Every structure is written in C-alpha cells, then in structure tokens.
Amino acid sequence: MRIKVLGCYGSEMPGYKTSGFLINDDTLLDAGTVVSVLSVEDQLKIDNIIISHTHLDHIKDIQFLADNVIGKRKRSINLISIHGVLDVLRANILNNIIWPDFTTIPSVNRPILKFLPVKEKEELNLGDVTVKPVKTTHTVEAVGYVIKDKDGAIVYTGDTCHTDRLWKTAMQEDNLKAIFAEVSFPNGMAELADVSGHLTAEGLNEELRKMNRKQVPVYVFHMKPQYLDIIEKEIALLKNRRMTVLRQGDVIQI
C-alpha cells in the first residue's frame, strides 16, 4: 500500500493544505486537498473517495475534482462512508444550491459521483484494499478507518477527540503496520481541543496507551499551521521515536 500525503493540516494558508491522502493512485482518503496538487491526468485515475466526515477541510475538493474530470472518464467516482455522513454531504453540499448534484450529472444512470455507503465495522472491498469504518468522537458524525491489503493494515483516525471503538477495532488487526492520527492543538489549548472534538499531543499520547502496539509507527496529521511549531516541540518532548509529524509530499510505503 502506497500512501502519498497531498495535504495534512487542520487549516489552510500559504504553504499548508488540508487533509488529503492518495492511496495507490486510485483512492483518496479524505479530499481536503486534491486538485491543487494532482494533474488532471492523475485526477482521472481516482476511482474512490473515502470520507471520514463532512467538515469542509475534508471534503472541499470533491466538488472541484468532479468538475475537472466530468466528460473525461466513463466510470463514476465512488463516495464511500457510512450512511449518516453521505446523507449530510447530499443534503448540504451536493444539493444544487451550494454545488451541482454531481450524483445525477451528466445523467442519473451515469453520474460522475456515486454514493457507496458502508455499514460501520463492515469491510468494503475496493480491489487491492479493503476499508472498514469505525465511529469516532467528533462534533459531527464521523468515522475513522481500518484500511488493509495483503501486506498489512493501517488505522486512520480522521478527526476525533478521546475515543474507544477505533482503538478496540485496531487491536484486532494482527498485521497493523501504521497509525495515522490527528493532533490539532497545543497542550495548552486542551479545553478548546475537547470542545471542538480534537486532540493535543498529550491527548494522542493518552489514546495510544489504549493499544498495546508500541512498535507500530504513528504518523501525525491535522496540525493547525499557526500552532505547528509548538505542536512539533510538544510531540518531540514525548520522546516517542515512533511518532512522525507528516509533511505534504511525504510518501509512506506499507
């Protein structure tokens, strides 16, 4: 499994792009950043978008991707998540008010976007990989994912505060190779992190204690760029060598 970091921050400003990860060239894990990084030729390769939740920094490029590739490909792009997340996306974004309903364009029978719901904790096969959503703790309905192929599994938290289901599910994976986990705020802003459904460096450290997998690498994303220097220092102070703060353009090979 090859994972390319298109964007990995919790807000957007020059040089910092919101969450978007490209798996094996054809599957997006969240879509906060896509079209400003990938060529149209690479955008045309995307068949699936796995969505953790509907906050704008995780979905905003779905609309522009559809706009860029419509008329250039025959297959629909699958929008994958639990029913509740897809219902919110349909009602509030792809509603012909905020953005055209690309699940009916160019036709109902051959749309450029297609909803592909999956039940929580059920695996969905996407060819070389399978995905399993697990509910997390955020301010809106949200899921993390266990994503795996023949070589191993990863856990992706999406946006979450302190949670349990995801870690319990992850512990069932014998061949867990990596954890992609959010840290949004400095430790001194723990109250804001809790209210907004996010983690600090110390908060993530507490979460990782729920798993007896000390050897598994942890890749940190979703840092608010205005606090990046502080967050990096606080992660370094944990002296946990398996933690790596992601950068745009990083490629992780599982």
CATH code of the domain in which 50 resides:
3.60.15.10
Q: In what order do the strands lie in the sheet with 176-182?
A: 124-125, 130-135, 143-149, 152-156, 176-182, 218-221, 243-245
Sign of torsion, CA 150 154 158 161?
A: positive
Round to whole Å and give the CA distance between 164 and 122: 17
Question: How many domains are contained in the chain?
Answer: 1
pLDDT above 90 (res 244): yes
Least confident of 113-117, 131-135, 169-173: 169-173
Interval 229-241 mean pLDDT: 96
Q: What is the predicted pLDDT for the residue at 115? A: 98
Domain of residue 158 covers 2-253
Q: What is the predicted pLDDT for the residue at 81? A: 98
pLDDT above 90 (res 141): yes
8-state DSSP, 208: H
Query: What rounded mean pLDDT belongs to the chain?
Result: 97
pLDDT above 90 (res 213): no
Q: What is the predicted pLDDT for the residue at 214? A: 78
Each residue's pLDDT tens digit, 118-130: 999 999 999 999 9
What is the pTM (predicted TM-score) of this model?
A: 0.96
Q: What is the predicted pLDDT for the residue at 184? A: 98
Nearest to 196 by CA among 90, 102, 57: 57
> Which region holds residue 30: left if phi is over 0, alpha if psi is between -120 and 50, else beta?
left
Interval 78-90 mean pLDDT: 98
Each residue's pLDDT tens digit, 24-76: 999 999 999 999 999 999 999 999 999 999 999 999 999 999 999 999 999 99
Question: Is residue 209 very low, low, confident or very high in pLDDT (cuts 50, 70, 90)?
Answer: very high
Q: What is the predicted pLDDT for the residue at 200? A: 98
Q: What is the predicted pLDDT for the residue at 101? A: 97
